[in-house]
Structure 1
Amino acid sequence: MKLKYWIYAARFHTLPLSFSGITLSFLISKSRVNVNFNVYILCVLTALLLQILANFSNDYGDSITGIDNFKRIGPKRTIQSGFLSLLEMKKAIYLLSVLSFLSGFLLLYQSIPFKKIFVFLFYFIGILVCIYSSIKYSIGPSPYGYIVGMGDLFVFIFFGLLSVEGSYFLYTQTLQMDMFLLSSSMGLLSVAVLNINNMRDLDNDCENGKYTMAGWLGIKRAKLYHMISIFTSVFLGGFFIFLNQKTIYQWLIFILVVIFLIFHVKRIFFLKDKKLFNLELKRLVLITFLYGLSIGISNFL
């Protein structure tokens, strides 16, 4: 039975990134205006489908280019291990592309009034771009995930700006500058998650033509880059709370989660065994989700 291999290929431990920013945006929106819960559910569904599409595409693309080999430190891929064939994964990528489009279209139908036709078209094009980018990260003649800095940039945009600010507009039909702070904050944490992945497989990636920020910087500077990304994110999140402060409890909850981030950075700096990056990646995904919840829920207090 191959269901367990499809679940494995979806990389469930990374999926909280999909709805971390969307949930944070929903909680902030809910504290300000009346929000349609169905729009939130469709946002989450669309984001999950897009991330699974990206994970499937990554499995497929890295197998073709040879990035997935016996030297890879990260979790074994389903195609590399022989659990799924290239044809099966290709069909799954087509299916996920269609499902992502349908979910995204239904989301726009539910959230954007017909009179805002240009906004609808803008988001409609955005959905197509998201689907294309999910696939193009590691598939095609020039996958952007193999170009220095491009993977980080697109993760920042999709898991930060679009996830938070983009969904906030769908909830409220407005744009707020303070939400840009949270968009950047969540985007930087997502970049840090990607950076762990790239630090872990730095040597193998460089040998096989995948040039990431970690590969360009080297492991020592990549760890510094990691620290700067996380602490800049914390500063932006703290600035948002400062602008929207209601009670001291907002700071207490925020600081509690920041402590987990500080310990994470400390472990990354002193980490020697690259296999341990896998554990830190899972931890940071969970902390990122809790970080978003801490700001969102505390905004109600």
Structure 2
Amino acid sequence: MRIRDWLEGARLRTLPAAVAPVFVGMGGAAALGDLSWGKSALAFGVALFLQVGVNFANDYSDGIRGTDAHRVGPQRLTASGVVSRSTVLGLALSCFAAAGVLGLWLVVWAQTWWMLAVGLLAVAAAWFYTGGKRPYGYAGVGLSELMVFIFFGLVATVGTAWVQSYSAPWWLWVAASGIGLASVALLLVNNIRDIPTDSEVGKKTLCVRIGDKASRWLYAITMVVSVACAAIATAWWMALPMAACATPGLVQVMRGSKGKNLLGALRNTGLYALAYGILAGLGLALLPL
């Protein structure tokens, strides 16, 4: 078993989008005059471990169902047989446990005990995306997209700011919605790529349900509204650099790229999410609101 295989299983390419909401939340806390580097570091740790846990959990659940046998993209550990099922499951649970420990530390420090319930809901949402007898990731009614928007947008962003400033102004919710939509776009382009293989194995994602063309338009709308959210939350001209960052992925998706040709769009959408986090975070921290 090579280190490269473990890194592929962890899907490190997803991590920039995972930490992007924390950048936005830090910007919000700074705008409110309450930025704490220590609390922000813990929030980063929670986001990273939760995302890697999600990746290993999806690898395990999809692998035991056989839905990853013919997927396009990086090798999955369980489906390929490179690692035993129990090992992948153990990795997922270990990452969730690490996220829980850091999250508990953050909650105790901030004295925001009610956020323990939010953390438990986040872990449950991560597991039941593809885990359990009836995973909502296979329902095809948009629950996956909704959960991504809530937990990798609103909760991660507003939660990061709240444990530092104990405040959540309207502009913070708008900025959080923008990064949430960027995360939804990342999920959409991933599922657009997998429409053929998901259809074969009965994995009813939203993209499978509504079809290729409608999914691409939904991706475009999601990206455009995300850019608009950044401009509304910070300054109108913020739409310019945001649009520049969004354009490469948008062009690739709307030109009809398929299969492996969509891997570039997946990468560019992830980079857009990271750029959103950094630019919106700086905008909130430095611009007069």
Aligned to 1:129, which of 118, 121, 124? 121
TM-score w.r.t. the length of structure 2 is 0.93
TM-score w.r.t. the length of structure 1 is 0.90
Which stretch of the first structure deviates more once superposed, 214-223 or 128-137?
128-137
Distance in 2, matches of 1:97 and 1:34, equals: 28
Deviation at 1:206, TM superposition (A): 2.0
Query: CA 1:93/1:292 → structure 2, altered by over 3 Å: closer, same or farther?
Result: closer
Per the alignment, in what secondary structure is the counterpart of residue 60 of structure 2? helix
Structure 2 contact 192–207 (Cα < 8 Å) conserved: yes
AA in 1 matched with 2:135: P
Which stretch of the first structure deviates more once superposed, 29-38 or 183-192?
29-38
Structure 1 contact 17–288 (Cα < 8 Å) conserved: yes
Structure 2 contact 24–176 (Cα < 8 Å) conserved: no
**2:9 paired with 1:9:** yes
**Partner residue of 1:32?**
32
Point out 4+ residue stretches in structure 1 off by more than 3 angstroms.
none
Structure 2 contact 29–165 (Cα < 8 Å) conserved: yes
**Partner residue of 1:75?**
74
How many equivalent residue pairs?
285
Distance in 2, matches of 1:25 and 1:138, equals: 28
Per the alignment, in what secondary structure is the counterpart of residue 79 of structure 1? helix
Distance in 1, matches of 2:259 and 2:168, equals: 41
Per the alignment, in what secondary structure is the counterpart of residue 234 of structure 2? helix
Distance in 2, matches of 1:59 and 1:265, equals: 27
**Partner residue of 1:146?**
138
**Partner residue of 2:152?**
159
Distance in 2, matches of 1:273 and 1:5, equals: 25
Distance in 1, matches of 2:209 and 2:194, equals: 13
User: Which segments of 5 or more consecutive residues in structure 1 lack a partner in the other structure?
Assistant: 113-118, 243-249
**2:271 paired with 1:286:** yes
AA in 1 matched with 2:144: G
User: Which segments of 5 or more consecutive residues in structure 2 lack a partner in the other structure?
Assistant: none
Structure 1 contact 182–240 (Cα < 8 Å) conserved: yes
Question: What is the RMSD computed on CA atoms of the aligned residues?
Answer: 1.6
For residues 237-275 of structure 1, the C-alpha deviation after alignment (integer angstroms, 9 at most, x for no partner) is 111124xxxxxxx72x54123123133212211133321
Which stretch of the first structure deviates more once superposed, 262-271 or 83-92?
262-271
Query: CA 1:146/1:100 → structure 2, altered by over 3 Å: closer, same or farther?
Result: same
Distance in 2, matches of 1:89 and 1:156, equals: 26
For residues 1-301 of structure 1, the aligned pairs below 5 Å read: 1-70=1-70, 72-112=71-111, 119-120=112-113, 122-148=114-140, 149-242=142-235, 251=237, 254-299=239-284, 300=286
Distance in 1, matches of 2:243 and 2:129, equals: 31
AA in 2 matched with 1:73: V
Distance in 2, matches of 1:271 and 1:220, equals: 9
Structure 2 contact 182–272 (Cα < 8 Å) conserved: no
Which stretch of the first structure deviates more once superposed, 271-280 or 37-46?
271-280
Structure 1 contact 254–291 (Cα < 8 Å) conserved: no
Structure 1 contact 100–131 (Cα < 8 Å) conserved: no
Deviation at 1:189, TM superposition (A): 0.8
Deviation at 1:33, TM superposition (A): 0.7
Instruction: Indicate the structure (1 or 2) with the bigger Cα radius of gyration.
Output: 1
Distance in 1, matches of 2:44 and 2:76, equals: 25
Distance in 1, matches of 2:65 and 2:43, equals: 32
Query: CA 1:128/1:298 → structure 2, altered by over 3 Å: closer, same or farther?
Result: closer
Distance in 1, matches of 2:165 and 2:100, equals: 22
Per the alignment, in what secondary structure is the counterpart of residue 289 of structure 1? helix
Deviation at 1:233, TM superposition (A): 1.1
* Percent of residue pairs identical: 27
AA in 2 matched with 1:24: V
Query: CA 1:298/1:161 → structure 2, altered by over 3 Å: closer, same or farther?
Result: closer
Which stretch of the first structure deviates more once superposed, 160-169 or 260-269?
260-269
